[in-house]
C-alpha cells in the first residue's frame, strides 16, 4: 500500500500534479502530538518506499518532502526505524549529493543528546559511502558547536561527540581540535577578563561557588548560568550563536535535549528583570566551571590517544604535531590564558621526545629575529615557565636549554651593548633580550638546586660548581649596560636576588637599591672583566656615573606573565599535579613577602 501510494504521488508529480506529494509532505511535517500525524509504522514503511525511489526525488517538487523527512526526530524511535532511516539517508546523499549538508546537519545537531549511538552509526555509514563528504563536515561541526553560554552538559556532550567523529573520519581531526581549542581559548580569555573585573578577587570564594554548582543537573548551576547568560546580552558578544543560526537552515529539526531540558531558561524569559545586577563572582564561577569540565574531558580523551603502546609505535606523533601547531596558532597570540595551555603541558610530558619537540618549537620562535616581537616574547614566557614547572624534564634537558639561552644572551650583549650609549629609541628595542634574561632568572629560582654540577672532574677543572658557569654568567650579566635588574619584573628580580645571594652566585641588592633611587649604575663592558660584583665583593656604586646609558621613559617593566603558573581549576589540576613543580617556600626567607607560588605570578 505504501509503495503504491509513493509511486502514485511521484507519477502525479511528473504529470505536473504536485497535490499528492504535497499532502505527503504535509503529513511528515505534522508534530507527533497531532491527531493527523502518521504513526511510526506509517513513517517507517513510507521511508522504505521512498528509499527505492530516490532517483525520482531529484526534483524541485520533492524539496519540501525531503526537508520534512530530515526534520523527523528519528533518534527517538526504535532500532528498526533508525536502521531504515539510516539506509534512506545513505541512498539519498549518494544518489543526490546536494542533500549531504542538510542530512549531516540533521545528524550533528543531535550531538548534545544523551544517547548519540545512532547518530554516529548513520554518519559513519554515509562517510563510508561518500569519502568526499568529510570535506564539508568540518564546517557543519563548527556551525552546531554550542554557544559558550549554553549548559555545561551540552558543551561537553558535543565535544565528546565531535572527538568521536575523528575516529571514523580522521580527515576532520585537525579542524575538530582547532574548533575545540579555539572555543576553550575564548572561554579562558573571558574568564580572565571577568576575574580582572572583580574587585578584591578572592580565589577561595570563586572555588566555593564552583563547588556549589559542580553538579551539572542541580538548580544552582541553572541559576548561575542564566544569570551569566543574561549578563552577556549587552556586551557585544563575538560568538553569535552559530548553533542557532545553523538550526534555522534545517527548519523544525529535532531538539538536542529532552523537552523538559530545553525549557530550563523559560522561567526567566517572561519579561521580568529577575536579576537587576549580575554578581561578577557568579559569572566567574560559571565560566571556570565550564572550562574545568571541558579540560577534564579533554585530559581523559588524550590519555587514550597517548598510551604507552601508541607512543612507542609513533601513532601519537601526528596528533601531537596537530596540537602543537594549534597551540602556536591559537594560544601564542592570545593574551594571558590560564588553563588551556595545560593540555600541551600534560601531553608533552608523556615522552622525552615530545618535551624536546615542544621546547625546540618554542625556542625557535623566541630566538628567531624574523618572528613578531610579541610572539617571541610570549614564546620565551612559555619556555621559562615550562622549564620551571615541568617535573618530567631531565637535568640534561634543562641544562641544554639554559646553555642555549645563556649563549644567546652573551652573544647579544657582545653585539648590541654598544648601542645603548647615547643612542635614541629607548630600551624598548631590547625587549626580547629582557624576556630571555627574565626567563633565566625565573628558571634559576625554581631549578637552582639541580643546576650545581654533579661531575667532580668538571668542577675541579673549571673553578665553577654551576652548570654553564651560571655564577660567572649572572655576575657579568647584572652589571652590563642593559641593567636587567631594573627592567625585569620586580618580583622575579627580588626572588632571584635572594636565591643568588644565598647560593653565593651573585649579589644584586646594591644595584637594585641604586635602581630604586634612580641613580645611574656603573657597568662593565661586554668584554666581561675578571672582577664582577659577587656576594663577597660588594662595591659601593658611584652615584655620579651618569654617562653610561640614557634612561628612557618609554619602557615599562617586563610583563610578569608565566603561563604555567598554578592551575586553579579544581578538577583539572589533579591531572597535572604529579608532573608539576610547585614553588618551594623554603627558597624564600621566612620574612619575605614571596612565600608562595602566587607571589611569582603576575607583577602588575
> Nearest CA to 427 among 291, 306, 560, 551?
551
Q: Is 537 helix (H, G, I), strand (E, B) or coil?
A: strand
Contact 395, 341 (CB under 8 A): no
What's the mean pLDDT in 353-379? 97
Give the model confidence (pLDDT) of 242-266 as tens digits: 444 454 444 444 444 444 444 433 3
DSSP element (H, E) containing 189: helix 173-197
Indicate if the pLDDT at residue 138 is higher than 90: yes
Quote the pLDDT of residue 383. Answer: 98
Quote the pLDDT of residue 584. Answer: 84
Indicate if the pLDDT at residue 458 is higher than 60: no
Higher per-residue pLDDT: 524 or 108: 108
Give the model confidence (pLDDT) of 7-23 as tens digits: 999 999 999 999 999 99
Out of 39-43, 197-201, 551-555, least confident range: 551-555
Question: Distances from the Cα of 338 to the Cαs of 39, 191, 242, 439, 489, in angstroms?
Answer: 53, 9, 25, 18, 19
Indicate if the pLDDT at residue 338 is higher than 90: yes
Give the model confidence (pLDDT) of 267-286 as tens digits: 333 333 333 344 677 888 99
Half-sphere exposure of 460 (CA within 13 A, CB side): 3
Q: Report H helices in 306-372.
A: 308-313, 317-326, 342-348, 352-366
Quote the pLDDT of residue 205. Answer: 57
pTM: predicted TM-score of the whole model, two decimal places: 0.83
Indicate if the pLDDT at residue 530 is higher than 90: no
Give the number of other Cβ atoms within 10 Å of residue 219's Cβ.
10
Per the structure block, which three cell numbers stand in for 564? Answer: 604555567
Per the structure block, which three cell numbers stand in for 446? Answer: 625554581
Out of 22-26, 190-194, 459-463, 464-468, least confident range: 459-463
Crossing angle for the helix pair 373-389 and 352-366, to the nearest 10 degrees: 150
Give 506's pLDDT tier (boundaries 50, 70, 90). Answer: very high
Give 73's pLDDT tier (boundaries 50, 70, 90). Answer: confident
Give the model confidence (pLDDT) of 161-210 as tens digits: 999 999 999 999 999 999 999 999 999 999 988 888 775 555 555 555 55
What's the mean pLDDT in 532-537? 47
Indicate if the pLDDT at residue 85 is higher than 70: yes
Most trustworthy range by pLDDT among 30-39, 56-65, 269-278, 340-349:
340-349
What's the mean pLDDT in 64-86? 88
What's the mean pLDDT in 36-54? 90
Indicate if the pLDDT at residue 593 is higher than 80: no
Give the model confidence (pLDDT) of 213-228 as tens digits: 554 444 444 444 444 4
Question: Distances from the Cα of 175 to the Cαs of 185, 241, 550, in angstroms?
Answer: 15, 19, 50
Phi, psi angle pair for 132, to nearest 5°: -70, -10
What's the mean pLDDT in 474-502? 96
Q: Is 274 helix (H, G, I), strand (E, B) or coil?
A: coil
DSSP element (H, E) containing 408: helix 395-416
Quote the pLDDT of residue 193. Answer: 86
Cα distance between residue 28 and residue 514, in whole Å: 83
Q: What percent of the chain has pLDDT over 70?
A: 75
Look up cell 604555567; give the residue: 564
Give the model confidence (pLDDT) of 383-427 as tens digits: 999 999 999 999 999 999 999 999 999 999 999 999 887 666 688
Quote the pLDDT of residue 206. Answer: 54
What's the mean pLDDT in 461-480? 90
Per the structure block, which three cell numbers stand in for 479? Answer: 652589571
Give 521's pLDDT tier (boundaries 50, 70, 90). Answer: low
Q: Which residues contact 430 (CB under 8 A, 6 or more apart)?
A: 416, 482
Give the model confidence (pLDDT) of 287-337 as tens digits: 999 999 999 999 999 999 999 999 988 889 999 999 999 999 999 999 889
Indicate if the pLDDT at residue 430 is higher than 80: yes
Quote the pLDDT of residue 131. Answer: 85
Amino acid at each position: 500500500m505504501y509503495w503504491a501510494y509513493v509511486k502514485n504521488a511521484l507519477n502525479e508529480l511528473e504529470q505536473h500534479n504536485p497535490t499528492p506529494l504535497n499532502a505527503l509532505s504535509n503529513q511528515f511535517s505534522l508534530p507527533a502530538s497531532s491527531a493527523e500525524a502518521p504513526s511510526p509504522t506509517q513513517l517507517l514503511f513510507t521511508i522504505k518506499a521512498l528509499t527505492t525511489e530516490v532517483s525520482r526525488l531529484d526534483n524541485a517538487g520533492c524539496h519540501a518532502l525531503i526537508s520534512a523527512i530530515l526534520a523527523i526526530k528519528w533518534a527517538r524511535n526504535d532500532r528498526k526505524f533508525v536502521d531504515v532511516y539510516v539506509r534512506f539517508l545513505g541512498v539519498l546523499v549518494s544518489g543526490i549529493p546536494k542533500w549531504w549538508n542538510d542530512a549531516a546537519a540533521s545528524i550533528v545537531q543531535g550531538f548534545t543528546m544523551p544517547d548519540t549511538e545512532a547518530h554516529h552509526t548513520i554518519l559513519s555509514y554515509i562517510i563510508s559511502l561518500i569519502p568526499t563528504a568529510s570535506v564539508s563536515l568540518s564546517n557543519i561541526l563548527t556551525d552546531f558547536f554550542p554557544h559558550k553560554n549554553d549548559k555545561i552538559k551540552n558543551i561537553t556532550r558535543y565535544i565528546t561527540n565531535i572527538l568521536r567523529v575523528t575516529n571514523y573520519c580522521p580527515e576532520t581531526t585537525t579542524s575538530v581540535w582547532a574548533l575545540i581549542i579555539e572555543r576553550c581559548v575564548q572561554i579562558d580569555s573571558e574568564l580572565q577578563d571577568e576575574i580582572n573585573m572583580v574587585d578584591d578577587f578572592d580565589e577561595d570564594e570563586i572555588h566555593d561557588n564552583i563547588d556549589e554548582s559542580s553538579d551539572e543537573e542541580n538548580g544552582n548551576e541553572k541559576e548561575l548560568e542564566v544569570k551569566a547568560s543574561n549578563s552577556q546580552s549587552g556586551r557585544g558578544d563575538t560568538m553569535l550563536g552559530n548553533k542557532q543560526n545553523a538550526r534555522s537552515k534545517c527548519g523544525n529539526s529535532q531538539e538536542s535535549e529532552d523537552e523538559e531540558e530545553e525549557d530550563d531558561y523559560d522561567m526567566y524569559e517572561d519579561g521580568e528583570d529577575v536579576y537587576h545586577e549580575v554578581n561578577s563572582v557568579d559569572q566567574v564561577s560559571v565560566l571556570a566551571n565550564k572550562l574545568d569540565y571541558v579540560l577534564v574531558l579533554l585530559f581523559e580523551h588524550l590519555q587514550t590517544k597517548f598510551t604507552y603502546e601508541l607512543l612507542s609505535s609513533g601513532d601519537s606523533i601526528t596528533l601531537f604535531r596537530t596540537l602543537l601547531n594549534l597551540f602556536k596558532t591559537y594560544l601564542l597570540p592570545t593574551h594571558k590564558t590560564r588553563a588551556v595551555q595545560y593540555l600541551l603541558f600534560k601531553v608533552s610530558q608523556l615522552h622525552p621526545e615530545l618535551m624536546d619537540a615542544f621546547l625546540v618549537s618554542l625556542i625557535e620562535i623566541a630566538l628567531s629575529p624574523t618572528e613578531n616581537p610579541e610572539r617571541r616574547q610570549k614564546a620565551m614566557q612559555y619556555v621559562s615557565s615550562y622549564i620551571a614547572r615541568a617535573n618530567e624534564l631531565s637535568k640534561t634537558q634543562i641544562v641544554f636549554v639554559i646553555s642555549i639561552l645563556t649563549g644567546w644572551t652573551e652573544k647579544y650583549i657582545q653585539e648590541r651593548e654598544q648601542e645603548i650609549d647615547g643612542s635614541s629609541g629607548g630600551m624598548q628595542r631590547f625587549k626580547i633580550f629582557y624576556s630571555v634574561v627574565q626567563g633565566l632568572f625565573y628558571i634559576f629560582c625554581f631549578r637552582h638546586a639541580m643546576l650545581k654540577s654533579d661531575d667532580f672532574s668538571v668542577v675541579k677543572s673549571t673553578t665553577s660548581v654551576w652548570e654553564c658557569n651560571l655564577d660567572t654568567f649572572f655576575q657579568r650579566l647584572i652589571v652590563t649596560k642593559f641593567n636587567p635588574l631594573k627592567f625585569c619584573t620586580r618580583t622575579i628580580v627580588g626572588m632571584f636576588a635572594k636565591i643568588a645571594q644565598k647560593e653565593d652566585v651573585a649579589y644584586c641588592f646594591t644595584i637594585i637599591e641604586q635602581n630604586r633611587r634612580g641613580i645611574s649604575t656603573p657597568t662593565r663592558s661586554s668584554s666581561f672583566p675578571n672582577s664582577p660584583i659577587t656576594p663577597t665583593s660588594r662595591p659601593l656604586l658611584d652615584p655620579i656615573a651618569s654617562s653610561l646609558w640614557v634612561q628612557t621613559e618609554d619602557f615599562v617593566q617586563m610583563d610578569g606573565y608565566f603561563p604555567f603558573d598554578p592551575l586553579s581549576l579544581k578538577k583539572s589540576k589533579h591531572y597535572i599535579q604529579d608532573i608539576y613543580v610547585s614553588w618551594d617556600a623554603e627558597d624564600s626567607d621566612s620574612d619575605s613577602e614571596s612565600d608562595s607560588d602566587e607571589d611569582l605570578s603576575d607583577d602588575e
